[in-house]
A and B are shown apart, each in its own frame.
Chain A
Amino acid sequence: MTRLAIAINQERCIGCHTCATACKMQNNVPDGMLWNRVLTEGSDVVDGAQGEYPNLSRSYLPVACQHCDNAACQRVCPTGATYKDDKGRIEIDYNKCIGCRMCMAACPYNARVFNWNEPARITGANYGDSRVPERHKGVMEKCTLCKERTDNGEEPMCVRCCPARARVYGDLDDPESKISKLLRQNNTRHLLEDMGTKPKVFYLN
C-alpha cells in the first residue's frame, strides 16, 4: 500500500506564502481562491501575534486538505465524487461533482473552495501544469496533493518550493521514506485531533 502524506515543521515555517502561491500556480487555481492558506494562528491580521506587547508569540499554520484517512467530506458526498484513491489521497472526480457543497460544510478544516461562477483568472489564461484538469462553474475543488506530480514521482509543488524546507513529503507505508523517519523521531500533532478525521498532514512543533 501507499499512503502519501505531508509533514510541516512549524518551527521552520516563516509564513512566507510561497507554498500557497506555488499551489495556486501549479493547479491553475482561479482568482479569489486558494487551496493552501498560510494562517497566523490566533490572529485576524497577517503576521499578527498572540498576547500583548512585549509578551508575544506567533506561529504560522499552513492549511490545505488534510487528506484524512477518515474523511468527513467523503462520507457526506452523495455521488461518490469525493473519494480516497489507492495512494491514500482524497480526490474529487469533477465529472461526478453536482455542486451540492455537502463536503464543504462537512470539512472541519475549511479546505474546500467552490466555483460559484465560471472561474476567472487575472492572467486571462490558464496557468500551471497542463496535466491538471480544468474545473468549471458548480464544481468543488481543493488540494489534490498535486496528483499529477505525485503520480509521476515528483514532490507536491508546495514542498518543492518551500524556501525554509519546512515541508516534507513521502509515503507513510514506506518505513524508509524521509517522512516516516521524521515522524518516528519527532512529536507531531494533527489539526483538530479530537474530530477523529485521522489526517495525513502532520504538524511538527
Chain B
Amino acid sequence: MSQISKAGISRRGFLKVSAVGAAGLASAGAMTSAKNWLAPAPAIAEPEEKIACTFHQSHCAGMCSLRCTVRDGRLVKIEPNHCSDERYETVCLKGLSEVQHIYADDRIQTPLKLTGERGSNSYEPVSWDEALDDICSRIKGYKESDGANSVLLMQSGEAGIDFHYLSAILGCATVGGENQGIDTGYGSGHDQALGGLGYGYSMCTSEPRDWVNSKLVLTVGSNFLESSLTSSREFFEAKEAGARMVTVDPHFSTTASKSNEWIPIEPGTDAALFLGMISYILDNDLANKDFVLAHTSLPFLVDTATGKMVRAHEPVMVTDATTGTERAETSEENSFFVIDANGAAVPFTEGGTFQLSGEVDYEGMHCKTAWDLLVENQKPYTLDWASSITSIPAEKIAEIAKLYAEGPAAIAFGWGGGDKMGNADIAGHATVMLTSITGNIGKPGTGSGVWLGPTYSGYSASLGAWALPEGMAASDGVYDLRYCRDAGLAPKALVCVGDNPAQYGASMNKTKDWFNLIDFIVVVDPYFHETSNYADYILPATTRFEYDEEVGNVHGCYNQIGLQEKVVEPLFEAKTGLWIEREFAKRFGYENALPSTAREYCDAILSTSTDPYYNTLTVDQIVENNGVWPMQGIEKPRMANTELLFPTPSTRLEPYYENMIQWKQAVPSWEPCLEATVDNSLRATYPLQFSNVRSRFYIHDQFYSAAWTKQYHTPHVELNPKDMESRGLANEDVVEVFNDRGSFKVKVAGNPSVRPGSARIIEGATSRHLIEGNLQNVTNDTVNERDEGIMLGAVTPFSDTLVEVRKA
C-alpha cells in the first residue's frame, strides 16, 4: 500500500498518468470538423429527449444492446439496455465512446471523387447520383469488356451486418469464405478433426458461462479479458468457483495478470508446449483410453507404407442424397478398419470391440493403429525437448498436462496471439489431439477452441432471410489476396466495404503495388481508413446509430435478438446500407429485387424463420420490449458437442489427418515458425519479434478516431525496458520500426509486460493514426508450404516477423 501511495496517488504520479493521454485530443481535421458541420445545440431550458436502442459491434461479437439517449437530434448518452437477464446488460468503453465517435473527424461526410493522382488526397465532393451513375457505368463497362470476375467486392464481417446483397447486385467476384489467411491458423488445424465444426475459426465451444464447471481453463495466446471484455464476468465467475485460470502468453497480458498463473512462452512455440503435454499424458498413462476407443479415429488402421487409413475401397467423393452436395464417404459406405479382440483386421463397426494398439498385415499392407503412430511420433517430444523450445520449465508442462488430463478442462485459444505465427496450424492440430486423448469435449467444463465473443458461442436464432430472385448472385471468381499480389493478379475494379486489403494484407508495400494494378477503386464506409487513401470514389455509409426509418435491422446478438432502431438521422450525407444497395440495384436492373424498406426486410427475417418461436415474433413486440427479445433456452449455458457426433466420415473426432501426410503432419509434428525463430540469422539485423496483438481499445482498425479513448491510449510500440535501454530509447520517443519489407514511425513506450526480444503493438492502426506509414509495412506475408492441405489454407503470419527499432 505504501508503494501505491507513492507511485500511484502522489500528484506527480497522477500527472504522469494523465500525460500519456493528454495528446491526441487535437483533431486531425479531415474536411469539415463535426463541430462546424453540426450547429451547437441551443441552450434552451427543456431540450427534447428520446430513447432508442441499437446493437453494437459484431466484430468483437459482444453485439451489446445499447440504450441511447438523443437530445435535440444528437446522440448524448449510451447505457446498457434493459434485457431479460442483467447478464446481457453490457457495454464497453468502445460502445460508450460512440457518443463522440459517430461525430468524429474521420467520418466520411459526402461522396468524394478523386481529382488528382491516387494517393494525393485531392478529392471533390460530388452528389450521390453523380457518384453512383459514374461508378455503376464503369463497373458495367469492366464486366462487359473483361468479364464479371474483373470486378471484386471485399466486404468486412462488420459491414456484412448492414450490407446484405452487394456481391449479388454487382454479380462480381468475392474473396470467398476461405483462404483469407486471417483468424484461421489454429482453427484450421483444430477444426478438421471435428469435420469442420467451428468453420476453421474454432467457433465450436460452449459459452464461457460453462467455465464454472472447469477445473482448468488453459488460455493460450488469447487476451480474453480485452478482446472479449464483456465476457470478463464469466471469466471471474469461473475463477471464483475454483477453476484454475492459467494463461500462456509471451507477454504479461491483462488476461495473464488476472489469471491464477501466467506461463511465459517463447513466441511461435505453442505447438511444442502441446506436444510436450501430449507426451506427458501418454507416457504417464493419463490418456482416457475408453474415450479414445469410443469417440476418435485413433483406433483405426493406417497403412504404414502410405500413411493412409485402411478403407474397404479407395475413397471417392459422393453426392449427398439430401443436400445434393459433394461429400466424403461415411464409414458405412466405405469402412475403416480396426484390430479385433483376436488381433485380426476387421471392418470397423460402431459398438464393436477393438484394440487401441497393435500391428497387423492386411491385404498386403503392413498396418498399425493411428494411436500407435501418434505414440511413435511423440517419441522425440519429451518434456525436456518441449522445455528447451518453449522456455517453460519441464515440471510446469508436466503439471499443466496432468491437470488437463484429469479435467474437466478447457483450452481457450484466440485469434490475436499465436494464431498469427506461421506454424499455428500445427498448434491447432495439437490442441485437438489433446482433446481427443483426454476426452475433454462435450461435457461440462470442457472443450477446445475460441471462446471469444459471446455471440459466437451463445445460442443462435434460426432467423429467416430475404429471398433474391433466381440467378441474382455473385460471380464464381474468388480472389486470394495472399497470392494474387505476388502473381500480379488484380481486378479492374475493386469495391471495398471495410478496410480488408490493408487489414488482411501483410507487407503493405505489396498491397500498394496491387492497388496500382487496379483501374478503379471504390470505398464505402462510415470512416476513412487505409484503403480509402487509394480510392477513386469514397462513399459515406451510416453507423449502427443512424437510420432513415424507425427500425433498421434485426439480428442475433448474445442469446437475444437485437433490434436496430433509428437513434439519430443519418449524419452528414451518409446513407444506410439498404439505401446504397437499392441505388446500386436500380442501376443494375434489380429495382424490385430488394426489400423496399428496412421494415420489410426485418418482417421477412422474422416471418420466414422455420421456428415458430421466431416466425410468430413481430418487430413491434421487440420494440415494446426495449428492442431485445430473449432466445429460447438461454437459462442454461449453451453446451457444444454434447452428442459427441461430428460431421466426419466416422462421426467421431478424427485427429489423424491423412491429407497432411506429405508434410508429415498426419499427427502433429513440430515445425518451427517461419521467421521469428530464436536462431534465425536474420536476428543479427532484426533482433525483435514483432507482436501485433488485440486490445480493449480498438477492434482491428476501428475506434482509432474515438477521442475519449485517446485519453487512455494512443498507438505506441512497446519494448521491454531492457530493450529500450540498449537502444537508448525513452518513453514517448518517436521511433522507426523497420525491416527489409518496409518501415513505419510511431511513439515508443517501455513496458516490463513485454517479453524481452519482442516489440509489441496493437494491431490495426493505419497510417492515419501512426506518425508515418502503416504497421503492415513490416509484417510477414509468407504462405507456409502446407497451405494446400490446411482446411482454410495457411494463416498470414503477421507476428512471425522480425524487426529492429531505432530512434527516428
Please list the residues of chain A having a beta carbon within 8 angstroms of any beta carbon in chain B.
11-12, 14-18, 20-22, 24-26, 31-32, 34, 37-54, 56-59, 61, 63, 108-110, 122-130, 157, 160-161, 163-165, 189, 191-193
Contacts and interface: CB of A to CB of B under 8 A. Distances in A.
A18 B95 CA distance: 9
Contact of A12 (B47, B93, B100, B236): B236
Nearest to A44: B16
Interface string B46-76: 0101000000000000000000000100101
A57 B755 CA distance: 14
Interface in B741-756: 749-756
A45 B7 contact: no
6 A-B pairs with least C-beta separation: A124-B35, A58-B257, A164-B232, A127-B76, A42-B7, A110-B14
A52 B755 CA distance: 10
A53 B755 contact: yes
30 contacts: A14-B254, A16-B229, A18-B93, A20-B711, A21-B97, A32-B25, A39-B13, A42-B3, A43-B7, A44-B731, A49-B752, A49-B753, A51-B752, A53-B720, A53-B752, A53-B756, A54-B262, A58-B252, A61-B4, A63-B9, A122-B707, A123-B103, A124-B33, A124-B34, A125-B41, A125-B76, A129-B77, A163-B230, A164-B232, A191-B9
Contacts of A41: 4, 7-8
A157 B77 CA distance: 11
Contacts of B707: 31, 122
A12 B33 CA distance: 39
A191 B5 contact: yes
Contact of B254 (A15, A57, A189, A191): A15
Contacts of A124: 33-35, 38, 40, 103
B126 to A, nearest CB: 26
A17 B232 CA distance: 14
A45 B749 contact: yes
A164 B255 CA distance: 13
A49 B257 contact: yes
Nearest to B228: A163
A108 B8 contact: no
A14 B25 contact: no
Contacts of A164: 225, 229, 232-233, 236
B1 A189 contact: yes
A53 B226 CA distance: 21
A18 B92 contact: yes
B78 interface: yes
A163 B233 contact: yes
A163 B93 CA distance: 10
B311 interface: no
Contacts of A18: 91-93, 96, 229
Contact of B79 (A20, A161, A189): A161
B229 A160 contact: no
A45 B751 contact: yes
Contacts of B8: 39, 41-42, 61, 63
A193 B749 CA distance: 32
B232 A123 contact: no
Contacts of B587: none
A123 B40 CA distance: 9
Given A109-B9, A110-B9, A56 B753 contact: yes
Interface residues of B, number: 72
Nearest to B230: A163
Given A56-B262, A130-B47, 5 more contacts: A11-B236, A45-B750, A63-B8, A109-B9, A164-B225
Contact of B226 (A14, A20, A48): A14
B464 interface: no
Contacts of B99: 25, 123, 127
A20 B712 contact: yes
A165 B233 contact: yes
B344 interface: no
Contact of B711 (A12, A34, A127, A163): A34
A56 B252 contact: yes
Interface of B: 1, 3-5, 7-9, 11, 13-14, 16-18, 20, 22, 25, 27, 33-35, 38, 40-41, 47, 49, 71, 74, 76-80, 90-93, 96-97, 99-100, 103, 225-226, 229-230, 232-233, 236, 252, 254, 257-258, 262, 264, 696, 707-709, 711-713, 718, 720, 731, 749-756
A164 B71 CA distance: 29
Contacts of B78: 25
B229 A163 contact: yes
Given A127-B76, A163-B90, A122 B25 contact: yes
Nearest to B11: A110
A112 to B, nearest CB: 11
A205 to B, nearest CB: 10
A39 B97 CA distance: 19
A12 B14 CA distance: 22
A47 B16 CA distance: 14
Given A16-B229, A47-B254, A161-B91, A21 B720 contact: no
Contact of A157 (B74, B79, B236, B708): B79
B752 A125 contact: no
B316 to A, nearest CB: 52
A131 to B, nearest CB: 11
Contacts of A163: 90-92, 229-230, 232-233
A183 to B, nearest CB: 17
A161 B80 contact: yes
A135 B754 CA distance: 42
A54 B226 contact: no
Contacts of B712: 17, 20, 38, 46
Contacts of B711: 20, 32, 34
A161 to B, nearest CB: 5
B267 to A, nearest CB: 14
A16 B751 contact: no
A49 B52 CA distance: 41
Given A12-B236, A53-B252, A125 B40 contact: yes
A122 B751 contact: no
A68 B8 CA distance: 19
A37 B91 contact: no
A39 B71 CA distance: 32
Contact of B708 (A16, A21, A50, A165): A21
A45 B731 contact: yes
A31 B754 CA distance: 31
Contacts of B74: 123, 125, 127
B49 to A, nearest CB: 7
A20 B492 CA distance: 48
A6 B513 CA distance: 56
Contacts of B7: 41-43
Contacts of B103: 123-124
Contacts of A46: 17, 20, 712-713
A25 B71 CA distance: 14
B372 to A, nearest CB: 38
Count chain B CB atoms within 10 A of each CB in A11, A14, A51, A59 and give the residue with the most.
A14
A18 B90 CA distance: 10
Given A14-B254, A192-B5, A49 B79 contact: no
Contacts of B751: 43, 45, 47-49
Nearest to B756: A53
B721 to A, nearest CB: 8
Nearest to B720: A53
A14 B245 CA distance: 15
Contacts of B756: 53
Contacts of B100: 122-123, 127
Contacts of A127: 74, 76-77, 99-100
Nearest to B251: A53
Contacts of B13: 39, 44
Contacts of A129: 77
B753 A58 contact: yes
Contacts of B753: 47-49, 53, 56, 58
A12 B239 CA distance: 10
